[in-house]
Amino acid sequence: MARRRFITFDWALKRLLRSKANFEVLEGFLSELLMTEVKIIEILESESNKDHLLDKYNRVDMKVRNSQNELILIELQYEREHDYLQRLVYAASKTVTEHVGEGDAYSQVPKVISISILYFDLGKGEDYIYHGTTSFRGLHTNDELQLNEGQKGLFHRQSVQEIFPEFYLIRVKRFDEVARNTLDEWIYFLKTGEIREEFSARGLKKAKEIMHILQLPEEERLAYEHYQENLHFQASMVESTWGAGMMEGIQIGEQRGEQKGRANTLLEQLQERFGLLPDSVQAKVAAASLEELKAWSRKIFTADTLQAIFS
């Protein structure tokens, strides 16, 4: 049986899933990942919610309500970038500041959950989903700092971790394509672009209805194909630029290694002939270019030539 072709999740984030009629897809994905029922209240308009055909930053900020009736800001990103971890911290911080009023008390700082769907190997690790939280432990007692009862009432949170941003990193390439549970069914879809008939994860049934490429209007389908062509072009440019940069780096490294070796050899020869050299001579040899060192190594040094060159 031929595979059904679905549009990629990043394109869906840009064009389809921000519509209230399609919230069911994102609600299903978030509910499976966070293991609690999630309802999207609204898609938040911010500087980060860009909608440009060639925009490489695929990010959607959402205000959601969980099964405990808590309001949470969700930052969902679909990324191919490599300079990522510091940018992750920056983006979460920006989400907080964008949604806190100037005169608001700090107790009004919203809870943020950052979810990154990564199509590159970020860091080193065996798992394909990582969850990061913030906790504080005593340097001497190793006990974990807890909220007191007053703080629990003020923040409407039960632990310190619940106040600080949480991060989910989904390393799609590390997934082995074996769907062991309903969350894995979502990861399978994110990696392969296929929704199997037996899948039952929340949101996937709706995704089947709206994300099949043949369901798109002709204009939208052509825009999607153009978008995919641009992604392939960008990937090729990165690969070729990286390869050229690597070769250039190797050449520079080899030149610097040869330069340092020749400088050390020349200094040893001069010290054998003239004894301890002045600091100015050693500094000039160490700073010399490879071409200068090659030329000096062919000279027969006397005290006069040494003085003429290094004075």
Where exactly are the structural domains of the chain?
A: 9-216, 235-310
Q: What is the per-residue pLDDT for 47? A: 47
| CA distances for 292 relative to 82, 100, 262, 288, 297, angstroms | 39, 61, 10, 6, 9
Cα-Cα end-to-end distance for the chain: 82
Two structure tokens written together for 221:
């389908």
pTM beyond 0.75: the answer is no
Identify the burial level of 274 via C-beta atoms within 10 angstroms of its C-beta, where 0-12 means exposed, 13-18 middle and 19 or more buried.
middle
Q: What is the per-residue pLDDT for 49? A: 46
User: Which residues sit opposite 72 in a β-bridge?
Assistant: 64
Burial 78-114 (b: 16+ CB within 10 A, else e): bbbeeebeeebeebbebbeeebeeeeeeeeeeebbbb
Q: What is the per-residue pLDDT for 252? A: 60
Query: Do residues 117 and 133 make contact, with C-beta atoms less than 8 angstroms apart?
Result: no
Two structure tokens written together for 266:
């020349």
Return the residue matching tokens 């690597």. Answer: 246
Q: What is the per-residue pLDDT for 143? A: 95
Nearest to 188 by CA among 203, 172, 202: 172
Q: What's the rounded Cα separation, in Å, for the pair 264 and 48? A: 53
Other beta carbons within 10 angstroms of residue 287's beta carbon come to 10
Task: Count how many Cα atoms sit within 13 Å of the Cα of residue 138 in the half-sphere of its side chain.
Answer: 7
Per-residue pLDDT of the chain (311 residues; tens, 9 = 90+): 345 477 788 778 877 788 888 899 999 999 999 999 999 988 876 544 444 444 444 667 788 888 877 778 887 777 655 557 777 777 788 777 777 776 677 777 788 888 888 877 777 889 999 999 999 999 999 999 999 999 888 888 889 998 889 999 999 989 999 999 999 999 999 988 888 999 999 999 999 888 877 667 777 777 777 776 666 555 555 455 545 555 555 556 656 677 777 788 877 777 777 777 777 778 888 888 878 877 777 666 667 777 777 76
